[in-house]
Every structure is written in C-alpha cells, then in structure tokens.
Structure 1
Amino acid sequence: MASCTPVGTDREGSHDFARVRRIVKTDEFSSVFRLRPTQKTAHFVLYTRHNQLPHARLGVVVAKRFAPRAATRNTIKRVARELFRTSALPPIDCVVRLSRAVNSKDGPATTMRLKAELRVELSRLFAAQVAAQARSVAPPPPSSP
C-alpha cells in the first residue's frame, strides 16, 4: 500500500494557500493599505509591504460595487490565489484590490475572456514583484574603464 502524504505538509517549496499565507485580520490589511500602491493595471491595484516571515502573504479585496455578482467576485479571488501560489514572491504582504468594474449585473458572470484578462493582469502584477526582488538582490553590473 502506498504512503499518502497530506497536501501542504511539505513546507519547502510548497505552493499551498494555508492560513499562514493569507492576510486575514483587518489591522494587517490596514497596515498594507497605509502604504502607497505599488502597481496598477486596468482593473487592479497592488499594495505591498515587506514582512518578517519566510514567505509571502496575500489578501484580496473585491468590492461588490465593482463585481456585483458573487460568481465574478469568487472567480477573481480564485484566479488571484492561483497565480499567487505559483509565483515565487519574496517575503512580502500583498493586497490585490479590484479598482474598476469588470462587468455589469446583467452581463455574464464568468466568461473565458474575462478570466483570461484577469489572469494576464494579475500575472503582470506578481511578475513585476518577482523582478523587483531579483533586481534588489542581484549585484550591480561591473563598470567599464
């Protein structure tokens, strides 16, 4: 009989979304929101703050006024979590906030086109954070004589 390891028990290189990887408390959200937005896209604003943990944490804010249907809000959160899990982010707290309406009450809640757009925007936000970390860690290029 094969041994079965529970998902998320391997912390080394883990891509789970356990509670320790989430921003859940109001004061944690507030401390990240106090800082200026790091980046903006057509629909999202990303706020970041360095943390003292060995991993990144994510909070997602999707207001009902910008995504009136629950299915749309849940899709946005699901896509954000999926991309966060697969990104190799530095130890930062990230809050992704929806800043513009994605569809109306009478429109389709979750289309493939909408998911693809959201995925591209969120991927761009997270990739920029990984690139910024790489630039801050990389040694400066050698100067020419």
Structure 2
Amino acid sequence: MPSVPAHAFPKAVRLTKTDEFSSVFALRPRRRSQHFVLYVRPNGLPQARLGLVTGKKFAPRAAERNLVKRMARELFRLRQDQLAGRDVLLRLQAKFPRADFSSRAAIRRACLAEIGALLDVAARPLPPPVQPAPAGAHPPAAAPTA
C-alpha cells in the first residue's frame, strides 16, 4: 500500500457524493462570514471530511475559485485533528469585488482570515442532536392538586 504524503488531500477526507452534501446542507448554517457559509454535522467517522462549494456566480474566474479551494483545503488540513468526526462544508456566498480585492494577495488574506475563523467555530463542541418524540407519546400529565 503506497504511503500518503503529509500534504495530501485524500478522498477519505472529502465529501464527494451528492447525498453527503445534501445531508449537510439540510442543516441550518453554523456560522456565516462576509463571503462564506459554514455547515457542520457529526459524521460518525474517526476523521473529518471537507466539502467545498465555489460557484461561478460568486467567483467567475477559475483562478479565484481555485485559490479559494486551495486556501480552504490547506486550512482544513492544518486543523483536521480538531475537526475529527465532523463533516465540514464551506460554501462561497458572496463575490470578492474588484474594487476591494484587486489582487490575489488581497483575496488570499480575506480567505485566510474568514475560513480560519469559520474552522475555529467548526472545531467547537457540537450541540447535542434533537431527538424527535416517539410516535404516540403524550406529554407528561400535570400532577394532581389537592
């Protein structure tokens, strides 16, 4: 079995299937930043997995989309141990306006700050899942008063 380089992003740590993305998108966003939305859910696996959505609507140039994805993957890789057992999905939700982000370095700085902060939020303990009431269950009756 070939060894995996330390900087690799293997398939086991990626969300790849539509169902995997849908199950995370079904949740409410955990946090929003100026350009990104973060979704997090427990995955029951020993490792964390990352999903990225960077559409042409918000990053029309391929170079921008690729830069955002590279930055997100690297920041995720550095925090993988803190995120173990979670599916993390980052979605680009706003454009990087040319007036404010005239260079790739400016976009890189914004991604570093925003994605880093969002992954810090993702590493926090998750709230316990809400358990639906069993069918046919009635709320507890009030205690009789004398």
- Please give the range of the TM-score, normalised by the shorter of the 2 chains: 0.7 to 0.9
Over the aligned positions, Cα root-mean-square deviation in angstroms equals: 2.3
Gaps of 5+ in 2: 129-146
> Could you tell me how far apart the structure 2 residues matched to 1:60 and 1:15 are?
18
Deviation at 1:16, TM superposition (A): 3.6
Which structure has the highest helix share of the two? 1
Partner residue of 1:128 out of 121, 125, 130:
121
* Alignment-derived partner of residue 4 in structure 2: 7
**Is it true that 1:56 corresponds to 2:53 in the alignment?**
no
Residue type of the alignment partner of 2:111 = L
Deviation at 1:129, TM superposition (A): 2.0
The alpha-carbon distance between structure 1 residues 46 and 135, as it changes in their structure 2 partners (threshold 3 A), is closer
Count, aligned residues: 123
* Alignment-derived partner of residue 38 in structure 1: 30
> Could you tell me how far apart the structure 1 residues matched to 2:96 and 2:47 are?
30
| Cα deviations by residue, 1:104-135 (Å, 9 ceiling, x for unpaired) | 5xx85x511110111100000011222x2399
Partner residue of 1:100 out of 94, 116, 141:
94
The secondary structure found in structure 1 opposite 2:87 is strand
CA contact (8 A) 1:15 1:86 kept: no
TM-score, normalised relative to structure 1: 0.77
> Could you tell me how far apart the structure 1 residues matched to 2:36 and 2:126 are?
23
CA contact (8 A) 1:33 1:47 kept: yes
| Cα deviations by residue, 1:59-98 (Å, 9 ceiling, x for unpaired) | 0000101000000000000000000000121310011000
The secondary structure found in structure 2 opposite 1:58 is strand
Gaps of 5+ in 1: 9-13, 137-145
The alpha-carbon distance between structure 1 residues 97 and 135, as it changes in their structure 2 partners (threshold 3 A), is closer
Q: Which runs of 4+ in 1 moved over 3 A?
A: 5-8
CA contact (8 A) 1:67 1:103 kept: no
CA contact (8 A) 1:90 1:133 kept: no
